[in-house]
């Protein structure tokens, strides 16, 4: 292992920043992201982020983090922050309170490091959080309802699968009255300790349990099939009356689980490799996801959003996939719904972009995932410098593909028909760093684990000519991969 950040560089950085990445590099050709996660994080708070393209090839980098310098939990009117042994509240809605909190950090942008590695926050905003900054009727948000959770991790690892090396980062905080050289030496010592840990053989979770050989009972916690079909008809009545053009109605499923939570991520990344794969351990709650859909991204002062609408199940072979793709592209209902959501994306991006800079850079492309075929587009715009990353997120939140059009009225109808808080589902998960970068995906194809309960939610976009039975089947098709993962991990103990 080699320390790449010198004391001289660190002291110079300390004149302009209060959180600095001390970086080391080591060979990691004998490890996988999964084995590194077990060694680095184990059962502690932390995360892993990975990516795979539409051809199921894993991306160049995997990101891991642990040992939070701070954790934050968002509620209706404040965010509660815990830093080591100190806890305090920041008053405001989740977005404004988090903006205030991250504004205290100033880092050095190191071009050799990927985004987030110079310091940043990872976590999620729940769908229901929109009710705290947008005037939407029907949001009954209890004071104790969690609307977001975030981690600022001290120890970060980025795995380079091309070079078979990894960078190990320790974020050092510059504090008044504390010697800068001593702070640097502490960070180097921390890196050496972590590296010794990473050289050891990994041990699986202490909380791993025996396989569950009983039949898995998945409870439809919201509507029954008949209730869902009825709600589709009600939604179509709203469309016929001119209230909305489209609305996304979701169902929620729950079941008891007995296996270690990370096992579900291990299986999900195998059966459903996706552009946004994540496992985040916040303590009592874990998010296990493989989302295909970006909500919003900021890179090089450009804002991107990536509407996905239009779905077919995968075929048994390439010929069937081609037929299903042709059917999707020639379906007037699917194309009209997609075009509507692209327009909604243009409007969202336009609100925070330089006038005249918004472009549709992809339109109605086809992407194949493990269980479904999707129609996708991309909208981009130059960010207006008066806005911060979380302003951009608020402008695009929630995704039109998870709410409808017009958004506000669609959300009001969702509140009336679904009957439960969506929680993380339909919100956003990802990171925003201290250099102005942000990458948030839509929280779909995700298993929310609350202690020993797994929660799966999926939805379908309802338009004027929707067939209720078809929409219900789409909901089940989207949930299929999560059901498969839960059943296999619980019954087969595949991770031994």
Report d(CA 255, CA 467) in Å as an integer.
29
- Residues known to be catalytic: 374, 401, 425, 445, 461
CA 304 to chain centre: 15
Give the Cα-Cα-Cα angle 62, 431, 138 (nearest 5 degrees).
135
Q: Residues with Cβ < 8 Å from 127, sequence gap 6 or more?
A: 398, 402, 422, 423, 424, 425, 426, 427, 443
Of the candidates 76, 27, 405, 41, the residue with the CA atom closest to the CA atom of residue 244 = 405
The number of beta carbons lying within 10 Å of the beta carbon of residue 9 is 16
Locus of tokens 């840990």: 197
Are the C-beta atoms of residues 461 and 374 closer than 8 Å to each other? Answer: no
Per the CB < 8 A criterion, the answer to whether 39 and 271 are in contact is: no
Which stretches of 21-80 are DSSP H helices?
33-40
In Å, what is the CA distance from 53 to each residue of 163, 366, 368, 369, 445?
Answer: 19, 13, 10, 9, 16
CA 9 to chain centre: 34
Q: What are phi and psi of 235, to 5 degrees?
A: -60, -40
Q: By C-alpha distance, which of 255, 37, 69 is closest to 159?
A: 37
Give the pairing of strands 294-299 and 302-305: antiparallel
For the record, the structure tokens of 314 come out as: 């995968």
3-state secondary structure of 218: coil
């Amino acid at each position: 292992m080699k320390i790449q950040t010198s004391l001289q560089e660190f002291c110079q950085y300390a004149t302009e920043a209060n959180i600095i990445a001390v970086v080391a590099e080591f060979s990691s050709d004998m490890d996988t992201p999964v084995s590194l996660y077990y060694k680095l994080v184990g059962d502690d708070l932390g995360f892993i982020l990975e990516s795979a393209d539409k051809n199921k090839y894993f991306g160049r980098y995997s990101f891991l983090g642990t040992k939070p310098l701070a954790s934050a939990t968002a509620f209706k009117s404040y965010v509660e922050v815990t830093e080591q042994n100190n806890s305090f509240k920041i008053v405001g809605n989740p977005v404004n309170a988090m903006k205030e909190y991250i504004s205290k950090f100033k880092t050095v942008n190191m071009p050799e490091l990927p985004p987030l590695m110079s310091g940043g926050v990872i976590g999620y905003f729940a769908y229901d959080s929109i009710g705290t900054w947008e005037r939407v009727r029907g949001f009954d948000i209890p004071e104790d309802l969690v609307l977001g959770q975030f981690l600022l991790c001290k120890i970060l690892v980025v795995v380079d699968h091309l070079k078979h090396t990894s960078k190990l980062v320790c974020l050092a905080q510059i504090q008044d009255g504390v010697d800068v050289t001593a702070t640097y030496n502490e960070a180097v010592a921390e890196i050496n300790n972590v590296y010794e840990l990473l050289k050891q053989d990994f041990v699986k979770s202490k909380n791993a349990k025996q396989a569950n050989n009983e039949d898995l009972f998945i409870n439809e916690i919201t509507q029954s099939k008949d209730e869902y079909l009825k709600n589709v008809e009600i939604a179509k009545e709203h469309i016929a009356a001119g209230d909305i053009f489209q609305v996304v109605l979701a169902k929620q499923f729950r079941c008891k689980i007995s296996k270690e939570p990370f096992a579900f991520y291990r299986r999900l990344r195998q059966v459903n490799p996706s552009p946004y794969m994540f496992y985040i351990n916040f303590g009592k709650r874990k998010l296990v996801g493989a989302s295909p859909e970006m909500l919003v991204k900021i890179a090089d002062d450009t804002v991107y959003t990536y509407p996905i609408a239009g779905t077919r199940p995968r075929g048994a072979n390439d010929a069937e996939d081609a037929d299903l793709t042709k059917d999707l592209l020639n379906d007037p209902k699917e194309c009209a719904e997609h075009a509507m959501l692209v327009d909604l994306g243009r409007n969202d991006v336009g609100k925070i972009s330089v006038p005249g800079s918004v472009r549709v850079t992809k339109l109605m492309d086809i992407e194949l995932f493990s269980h479904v075929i999707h129609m996708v587009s991309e909208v981009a715009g130059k960010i207006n410098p008066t806005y911060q990353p979380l302003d951009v997120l608020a402008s695009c939140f929630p995704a039109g593909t998870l709410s409808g059009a017009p958004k506000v009225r669609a959300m009001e109808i969702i509140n009336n028909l679904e009957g439960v808080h969506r929680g993380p589902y339909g919100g956003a998960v990802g990171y925003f760093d201290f250099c102005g970068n942000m990458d948030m995906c839509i929280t779909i194809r995700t298993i929310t684990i609350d202690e020993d309960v797994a929660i799966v939610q999926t939805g379908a976009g309802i338009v004027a000519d929707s067939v209720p039975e078809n929409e219900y089947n789409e909901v089940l098709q989207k949930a299929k991969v999560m059901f498969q993962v839960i059943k296999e991990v619980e019954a087969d103990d595949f991770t031994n």
